[in-house]
Amino acid sequence: MAASSLEPSPRRWSWARLIVSSSARNYSPLLSLALIAPLMLLLAFSFLYPVGRLLASSLFNPEVGIDRYVRLLSEPLYLRVLWRTFEIGFIVMLASFVLGYPVALAMAKLKGRWATIVAACVLIPLWTSVLVRSYAWIVLLQRNGVINTALQEVGLTAGPLQLIYTEGAVIMAMTQVLLPFMILPIYAALRTIPEDLGRAARNLGAGTLTVFLRITLPLSLPGVSAGALMTFILSLGFYVTPALVGGPRTLMMATLIGQQATVLLDWPFAGALSAVLLAATLLLVTMFRKALALNKGVSGV
């Protein structure tokens, strides 16, 4: 009875819709633009202007001009780093989906204390610095770290394994950092699925796996696509974790751009690297969205 009294009545919902619609009609287009103008100015001066200057320096420099892009596309080192960046980003996206979907499903199904505990386990890492989490992986994976020491004490290995400064270490560390960005959109999509659909399917003879494959998974694809896009795009720009956990053997584009800008002070070439990474990212994201739009469940994404 107490829980039902807290639920909004239809009359309250009608009043809320009336207030929202009337307030939306009261704001003129000019006033709406004035309200968002401070945010747009902040975005323009803190993001668009610096990025535009960096990209322009790689194109409109009279000394070198387009030769930077020719150098980038002709030397195998830079193409290999670009390929490694997208390869690691794609693997991190898949690993985040495989590990995050069950957690999101558990968050949507559990209630009470257990739901709070699972949600806290997902949200608390977001409050921890990426630098701290990267150093924690170094403690775990180094030659005298926790994992190597445990393996040697158990007798599974005769000596320390090369766990740190590998692509596997980078993938594990990045997946752990980006996992909440996959879990939360999927959880939001799962929460919108009516429970009556699953019960009706079971009453018609469908099993648990059939309900998941035919109802739960298709209806949760908008959240999956949103989480996949966020984890993939964020992984392409990772700087701290690959630099600390991967080292020079697993150089990625963000680290390479940082070296060109801060160590070699070659800002135009750093702009060329950024432009190529941005163009390739936009192309892949567009293809990804087009492919997902073929599915009716995510046609509105």
Q: Does residue 60 have a pLDDT over 80? A: no
How much is the pLDDT for 65? 61
Task: Please state the rounded mean pLDDT for residues 44-64.
Answer: 75
pLDDT digits (tens, 9 = 90+) for 3-39: 444 444 545 445 545 444 544 456 678 888 888 888 8
pLDDT digits (tens, 9 = 90+) for 162-205: 888 888 899 999 999 999 999 999 999 998 888 888 888 888 88
Percent of the chain with pLDDT over 70: 86
pLDDT confidence of 143, banded at 50, 70, 90? confident
How much is the pLDDT for 64? 57
How much is the pLDDT for 164? 87
How much is the pLDDT for 237? 86
Distances in Å between the Cα of 51 and the Cα atoms of 82, 154, 270 are 19, 52, 11
Q: Does residue 54 have a pLDDT over 90? A: no
CB 180 within 8 Å of CB 227 = no
pLDDT digits (tens, 9 = 90+) for 73-127: 888 888 899 899 999 999 999 999 999 999 999 888 888 788 888 888 888 878 8
Instruction: Report the alpha-carbon distance of residue 145 to residue 148 in Å, rounded.
Output: 6
CB 141 within 8 Å of CB 173 = no
Residue 75 DSSP SS3: coil
Task: Please state the rounded mean pLDDT for residues 256-265.
Answer: 84
CB 224 within 8 Å of CB 101 = yes
How much is the pLDDT for 181? 93
Task: Please state the rounded mean pLDDT for residues 235-241.
Answer: 87
**Which positions ≥6 away from 152 have C-beta within 8 Å?**
158, 159, 160
Task: Please state the rounded mean pLDDT for residues 126-151.
Answer: 86
Closest CA to 171 of 258, 245, 278: 245
Distances in Å between the Cα of 158 and the Cα atoms of 148, 162, 182, 213 are 10, 13, 38, 45
Q: Does residue 301 have a pLDDT over 50? A: no
Residue whose structure tokens are 């990804």: 288
How much is the pLDDT for 156? 82
Q: Does residue 154 have a pLDDT over 90? A: no
Q: 53-67, 181-195, 214-228: which has the minimum mean pLDDT? A: 53-67
How much is the pLDDT for 231? 93
pTM (predicted TM-score): 0.79
pLDDT digits (tens, 9 = 90+) for 199-216: 888 888 888 888 888 888
Q: Does residue 134 have a pLDDT over 90? A: no
Query: Residues of 267-298 as b/e, b for ≥16 C-beta within 10 angstroms?
Result: bbbbbbbbbbbeebbeebeeebeeebeeeebb
Domains detected in the chain = 64-298 (1.10.3720.10)
**Which positions ≥6 away from 295 have C-beta within 8 Å?**
218, 221
Closest CA to 250 of 141, 146, 149, 152: 141
How much is the pLDDT for 1? 43
Residue whose structure tokens are 């996949």: 228
Distances in Å between the Cα of 185 and the Cα atoms of 171, 175, 189, 281 are 21, 16, 6, 21
How much is the pLDDT for 172? 92
Cα–chain center distance at 211: 28
Percent of the chain with pLDDT over 90: 16
The rounded mean pLDDT for the chain is 81
